[in-house]
Amino acid sequence: MKSREDLLSAARETIREMSVEEVKVYLDGGNTPALVDIRGLDEWERGHLEGAIHIPRGQLEAEVEEKVPNKGDEVIVYCAGGVRSLLGAVSMQELGYENLISMAGGFGDWEDSHCPFVQPPAPEEDEGPLNEERLTDEIAHLEELIAQKKAKLEAAE
């Protein structure tokens, strides 16, 4: 039975890995690969490489062909630490993608190296009393709907 390390070793035999520093120099050199971030939505929302395409690892095989249609394009896949991206790149290779690179160290090393990334705007502040008023109205409406449904059920009995 194969271990996790066996899977990673086999993946490294067919998937090229680049360190964060190498990826940064590569991108700064004018190269324009597709950047595929396979972290979860919560990770993506905390920050990601500029221009990256978000495809969570659990949806990669279902969505990648739509989001990265040219299987001959160069693609750099990254995750938080470099493991999911390496295994995800193997899946992409099995789907026919030819030019794959996994970013070793992932977004964690990218951020730790003070490389630039995009952070979505902070969520808007709660609207205070106006928000509370809307919620109160919504609750009242839902309670009314529930009462109507109960009345119909009782009438049907």
- Mind telling me the catalytic residues? 79
- 71: exposed, middle or buried (Cβ count in 10 Å: 0-12, 13-18, 19+): middle
Give the whole-angstrom CA distance, residue 80 versus residue 85: 8
Q: E strands of 1-114, at which residues? A: 16-18, 34-37, 53-54, 74-78, 99-103
Q: Distances from the Cα of 135 to the Cαs of 86, 126, 142, in angstroms?
A: 45, 12, 10
Task: Give the 3-state secondary structure of residue 117.
Answer: coil
